[in-house]
A and B are shown apart, each in its own frame.
Chain A
Amino acid sequence: MQRRTFLHSMALFGALGVCPSLLANSVSGSANAISVEQLPELKGELTLYLGRGEGGLYEDVLNAIKKRNPSFKLNIRRGPTAALANAIVAEAKAGVRRADLFWAVDSGAIGLVSGAGLAQSLPKDLISQLKPEFQFSNWIPVTGRIRTLPYNTERLSADKIPDNIMELPESGLSIGWAPAYASFQSFVTAMRLIAGENATADWLKRMNDKATRYAGELGVVMAVERGEVDLGLANHYYTLRLKSGKPNARVNLAFTQNDAGCLVNASGIVALKEGDLAANFIRYLLTQEVQSYLASEAYEIPLVGNVAPPKGLPTLDTISPPKVDLTKLADLRPTLSLMRKAGVL
Chain B
Amino acid sequence: MTRWPRSYPFALIIALIALIPVAVLATLATDSADMFDSRNLQVLNNTLLLMLLTAFGSIVIGVPLAILTTYVYLPWRRFWVVLLAAPLALPSYLGAFTFYAAFGPGGELETISGITTPRFNGLIGTAIVMALYTYPFVLLTTRASLASLDAGQVNAARTLGLSLFRSIILVVLPRIKNGIAAGSLLAALYALSDFGTPAIMNFDTFTRVIYVEYNAFGLSQAAMLSLQLMVIVGLVLILESRVKGTQEQPGRHLMLWPGKWQLGLMLASTLPVVLMAIFLPLTIFFLWLWRDGSGNFEITYAWNSAHASILAAIFAVVVALPVAYAAIQGKAGRIMERITYIGFGVPGIVMGTALVYVGLKLPFLYQTLGLLVLAYVLRFLPLAVGTIRSTSEGIDSSLVNAARVLGASPNEAFKRVTLPLTMRGLVAGAALVFLEAMRELPATLLLGPTGFETLATYLWRVYEAGYFGMAAVPGLLLILISGLGLALMFSGEKWNELKQL
- Assess A5 versus B446: contact at CB under 8 Å? Given A55-B470, A94-B360, A180-B212: no
A34 in the interface (beta carbon within 8 A): no
A219 to B104, CA, bound (A): 13
B229 in the interface (beta carbon within 8 A): no
Partner of B217, one of A52, A54, A82, A345: A82
- Within 8 Å CB of B450, what residues of A? 47, 75-77, 98
- Within 8 Å CB of B442, what residues of A? 80, 83
Is there an interface contact between B464 and A90, defined as CB atoms closer than 8 Å? Answer: no
A259 in the interface (beta carbon within 8 A): no
A343 in the interface (beta carbon within 8 A): yes
Is there an interface contact between A54 and B105, defined as CB atoms closer than 8 Å? Answer: no
A14 in the interface (beta carbon within 8 A): no
Nearest CB of chain A from residue B330's CB, rounded to whole Å = 39
Is there an interface contact between A87 and B470, defined as CB atoms closer than 8 Å? Answer: no
CB nearest to B198 among chain A residues: A215
A1 to B209, CA, bound (A): 39
Is there an interface contact between B296 and A59, defined as CB atoms closer than 8 Å? Answer: yes
B297 in the interface (beta carbon within 8 A): yes
- Within 8 Å CB of A86, what residues of B? 214, 217, 219, 353, 356
- Within 8 Å CB of B202, what residues of A? 213-215
Is there an interface contact between A83 and B217, defined as CB atoms closer than 8 Å? Answer: no
Nearest CB of chain B from residue A113's CB, rounded to whole Å = 10
Is there an interface contact between B211 and A180, defined as CB atoms closer than 8 Å? Answer: yes
Is there an interface contact between B446 and A79, defined as CB atoms closer than 8 Å? Answer: yes
Is there an interface contact between A53 and B214, defined as CB atoms closer than 8 Å? Answer: no
Of B361-369, B370-378, B393-401, B413-421, the one touching chain A? B361-369
A313 in the interface (beta carbon within 8 A): no
* Number of residue pairs A-B, CB distance < 8 angstroms: 143
- Within 8 Å CB of A60, what residues of B? 296
Of B170-178, B233-241, B321-329, B454-462, the one touching chain A? B454-462
Nearest CB of chain B from residue A265's CB, rounded to whole Å = 15
CB nearest to A49 among chain B residues: B450
| Per-position binary interface string of chain A over residues 52-90, scored 1 when its CB falls under 8 Å from any chain B CB and 0 otherwise | 111111011000000000000001111110110111001
A225 in the interface (beta carbon within 8 A): yes
Q: Which of B219, B361, B470 has the most CB of A within 10 A?
A: B219
Q: How many residues of B contact A (CB 8 A)?
A: 54
- Within 8 Å CB of B214, what residues of A? 82-83, 86
- Within 8 Å CB of B357, what residues of A? 90, 94
Q: Which of B211, B215, B442, B469 has the most CB of A within 10 A?
A: B215
| Per-position binary interface string of chain B over residues 328-367, scored 1 when its CB falls under 8 Å from any chain A CB and 0 otherwise | 0000000000000000000001001100110011010011
A61 to B74, CA, bound (A): 55
| Per-position binary interface string of chain A over residues 228-245, scored 1 when its CB falls under 8 Å from any chain B CB and 0 otherwise | 100000000110011001
- Assess A80 versus B37: contact at CB under 8 Å? Given A56-B295, A180-B212: no
Q: List B residues 285-315 near A (Cβ within 8 Å).
A: 292, 294-299
- By secondary structure, the A interface counts as helix
Q: List A residues 203-220 near B (Cβ within 8 Å).
A: 213-215, 218-219
A238 to B467, CA, bound (A): 10
Q: Which of B216, B353, B442 has the most CB of A within 10 A?
A: B216
Interface bracket on A: 35 or more
Is there an interface contact between B298 and A2, defined as CB atoms closer than 8 Å? Answer: yes
- Within 8 Å CB of B356, what residues of A? 86-87, 90-91
A118 to B212, CA, bound (A): 24
Is there an interface contact between A215 and B200, defined as CB atoms closer than 8 Å? Answer: yes
Is there an interface contact between A56 and B463, defined as CB atoms closer than 8 Å? Answer: no
- Assess A4 versus B106: contact at CB under 8 Å? Given A54-B461, A75-B450: no
Nearest CB of chain B from residue A55's CB, rounded to whole Å = 3
- Within 8 Å CB of B294, what residues of A? 1
- Within 8 Å CB of B39, what residues of A? 340, 343
Nearest CB of chain B from residue A201's CB, rounded to whole Å = 15
Is there an interface contact between A53 and B451, defined as CB atoms closer than 8 Å? Answer: no
A4 to B363, CA, bound (A): 38
Partner of B296, one of A4, A85, A109, A245: A4
Is there an interface contact between A345 and B464, defined as CB atoms closer than 8 Å? Answer: no
CB nearest to B363 among chain A residues: A96
A10 in the interface (beta carbon within 8 A): no
A336 in the interface (beta carbon within 8 A): yes
A83 to B357, CA, bound (A): 12
Pick the 5 closest A-B CB pairs, nearest first: A226-B106, A53-B464, A55-B467, A53-B461, A94-B360
- Identify 10 residue pairs between A and B in the complex whose beta-carbon atoms are under 8 Å apart, listed by A's number: A79-B445, A79-B446, A83-B349, A83-B352, A108-B216, A182-B216, A225-B106, A226-B105, A238-B466, A245-B467
